[in-house]
Structure 1
Amino acid sequence: MFFTFVVMLGGNPIGDRFGFRYWNNPGSFQEYYKTGDLGRWLGFLACLIQASFTIAGPDYVSMAAGETVNPRRELPRAYNGVFYRLTTFFVLGTLCIGILVPYDDPTLKNAFENDLPGAAASPYVVAMDRLKISVLPHIVNAMVLGAAFSAGNSYVYCASRSLYGLALDGKAPRVFTKCTKSGVPIYCVGIVLVIALLAFLQVSNSASIVLQWFVNLVTASQLINFAVVSFTYTRFRKACMAQGISRESLPYRSRGQPYVAYIATVCTAVMAFVGGYEVFLPGNWDIPTFFFSYTMIGVFPVLYFGWKIIHRTKVRKPEEVDLVTGLAEVEEYTRNYVHVPSKNPFGRFLDFVFG
């Protein structure tokens, strides 16, 4: 963002003070499939569908609760940190991209059309090349590599812990409960790493199509997951109200509830249905794309109702929901926990900002 601010005001080797030029020529919205307002809306929708793949992340924070020293104190800080980071890097980062590069840049279009690897499709690298900036593109490449490693590390952790939790609940083979002496679910990590090898499909143009199918499948799964999480919160809130548990007693309280949860439930559910809408446009019908975009929408109710029927479970009323099992132990641990302030200045700054 600092880079964008500097170069847009002329701080670049060619002295081009371009400002918001590309918002006027060729424009801030590209037409997609159709012309006019409908085409611009479809272009925005296409970007929104791609962005929905990144919806996973905030919910991953809660997965670390079982391995956090003092979750009732640390997790609220983490939630606040995630919110501000997403707002800063995703929203403002998108704004910067629109400022730096026009959507019809030939280098950028070629990178996407030919599935060029690495940071070749990065708008920042394209902008640096346009402005004759050297060295920085290599730094961006290194940052992209670091970000990919960080994301991979996060996904391996979350996926392996999810599989481990399913195994403990009897919803996955018991072999996945096997842990090392240090507590690492070794078989869970192993199977996740094997699945991660699918990423090598990207090295081939033809195989990258298969990878895109998996991306569509995962995106739909994440959207459904987020919709379920949001809906579950609304039921949790009703259970608290029915059992006389004050919201003020909770260690973390987000703003705008329950309306934000309702909005999130509806929006994510709608996005799951429109994620593969392009196959319904004239001349775009593709059976594999259709199935990989909408399979999870059909699988989800089958799994849900199948579990209900086979195990004869029922939907509990708000006053019947168990909100107290294990709570006494957590509260006792929290009361006896002694917080040691950070000696690092940066750590103290984070304590001040995020509580």
Structure 2
Amino acid sequence: MNEVAPATGATGRFLGFFSVLIYAAFTYAGIEMVAAAAGEAENPRRNVPKAVRRSIWRILAFYVLGSFCIGCIVASNDPHLLRAQAEGAPGAARSPWVIGITNSGIKTLPSIINACILTSAVSSANAFLYTGSRYMYALAQNRQAPRVLLTCTKKYEELPYQAPYDRAILTIGHRGVPIYCVLITALIGTLTYMTVSVAGNTVFLWFANLTTVAAMLTWISLCYAFIRFRKAQAVQGVSLDDPACRAYRPRFQPYIAWTTLTYFAVLVVFNGFETFMKGNWNVNDFLVHYIGIPIFAFFILFWKFVKKTKIHKLEEVDLWSGKAEVDAMEGAWEEPVAKNWLQKMWFFIV
């Protein structure tokens, strides 16, 4: 295991391992977006838990197994890898997969890997464009962002919906696409043109550090909200055996939530540890690693003191808003039935 200079020995190796955890957090960021898609998904009570469960297996297959495989074919001190990093090689040129395949003497496969990486990048950008715009739209709905962001490509129209099992009438609003939210989110992508004047590797590290801290703060917030949610259930006498909780029942909770919260809190505090090591102090690096924390705290405190908001007591937490609408729609979704083995495989994947 490589050491983080100037530390040596066991300390240097531990810091090397810890630094990998920080970049791993950047890689895993975004799996929470399945919750953002629930508002526009068909049959969310069935499909969202299904997507959550399958994401775990996909992480094990693509991330954990993939990392193990790449560690087997490319050494951390591989000269091609070190040279690509030192020279700031563009794009997939410094990808361990491409380097490993090149070392194996396979001529065509690196181009295929490059195409796969490009496809994955486009898919990731599309997913974050969707979630970013929806988060912004939700902020506007909660009056935490300008109301102009509620503008959509379609006017609001009320469509009567008749649930087949209880004859209840449900009003469904179709608002189209939040166009301003999408445009603002897309404009953030233009920051990548900073690579024109600054080394691409440096800009990538800037974005990686900033987004990693933001993602970890997001997960800390999610864990805290979930812990409060479970406590509110207990205080209000809502049992997990209640039919209302049948959609998704994660195991080992809330212990996993507490563990995750603690884990990310440690990473947030120490994510810029290299900046404080002897001879490594740099103001720009310090800001990149830690500027997200005061920004996060500022918005929370600003909203709390300016808007006079308060933390709800557990017995006052609203656990039921929106549930009636989902209940009314549940009987309307048609359960897809696979007609052949190809469809069975497709339904299993998606």
* Same-fold call, TM cutoff 0.5: yes
9, 18, 22: which is aligned to 1:49?
A: 22
- Per-residue CA deviation, residues 271-314 of structure 1 (Å, 9 max, x unaligned), is 11111111100111111111121122222222212211111121
Q: Which residue of 2 aligns with 1:275?
A: 271
Residue 198 (str. 1) matches residue 191 (str. 2): yes
CA–CA distance in 2 between the matches of 1:141 and 1:203?
Answer: 21
Distance 1:301 1:226, change over 3 A: same
292, 299, 302: which is aligned to 2:298?
A: 302
- The more displaced of 214-223 and 231-240 is 214-223
Q: CA deviation at 1:122?
A: 1.2
Q: CA deviation at 1:70?
A: 0.3
Structure 1 unaligned segments of length 5 or more: list them: 1-28
Q: CA deviation at 1:255?
A: 1.4
SS at match of 1:245: coil
Q: CA deviation at 1:206?
A: 3.7
Residue 209 (str. 1) matches residue 202 (str. 2): yes
- The more displaced of 270-279 and 31-40 is 31-40
Structure 2 unaligned segments of length 5 or more: list them: 155-174
Q: CA deviation at 1:151?
A: 0.6
Residue 264 (str. 1) matches residue 236 (str. 2): no
- Per-residue CA deviation, residues 9-60 of structure 1 (Å, 9 max, x unaligned), is xxxxxxxxxxxxxxxxxxxx11221222212111111211111112322210
TM value normalised by structure 1: 0.87
137, 147, 156: which is aligned to 2:120?
A: 147
Q: CA deviation at 1:216?
A: 1.6
Q: Which residue of 2 aligns with 1:238?
A: 231
8 A contact 2:2–2:76 mirrored in 1 = yes
CA–CA distance in 2 between the matches of 1:86 and 1:202?
Answer: 30
Q: Which residue of 2 aligns with 1:184?
A: 177
Distance 1:211 1:137, change over 3 A: closer
8 A contact 1:97–1:124 mirrored in 2 = yes
CA–CA distance in 1 between the matches of 2:195 and 2:211?
Answer: 16
117, 137, 144: which is aligned to 2:90?
A: 117
Q: Which residue of 2 aligns with 1:326?
A: 322
Identity percentage of aligned residues: 40
8 A contact 1:234–1:258 mirrored in 2 = yes
CA–CA distance in 2 between the matches of 1:210 and 1:160?
Answer: 23
8 A contact 2:88–2:200 mirrored in 1 = no
CA–CA distance in 2 between the matches of 1:135 and 1:209?
Answer: 30
8 A contact 1:115–1:205 mirrored in 2 = no
Residue 102 (str. 1) matches residue 71 (str. 2): no
SS at match of 2:286: helix
- Greater helix fraction, Structure 1 or Structure 2: 1
- Paired letter, 2:56: F
Aligned residues: 326
SS at match of 2:331: helix
Q: Which residue of 1 aligns with 2:281?
A: 285
8 A contact 1:201–1:211 mirrored in 2 = no
Q: Which residue of 2 aligns with 1:30?
A: 2
Q: Which structure's relative contact order is higher, taking Cα pairs within 8 Å and 6+ residues apart?
A: 2
Q: Which residue of 1 aligns with 2:333?
A: 337
Distance 1:253 1:55, change over 3 A: same
CA–CA distance in 1 between the matches of 2:56 and 2:141?
Answer: 31
SS at match of 1:253: coil
TM value normalised by structure 2: 0.88
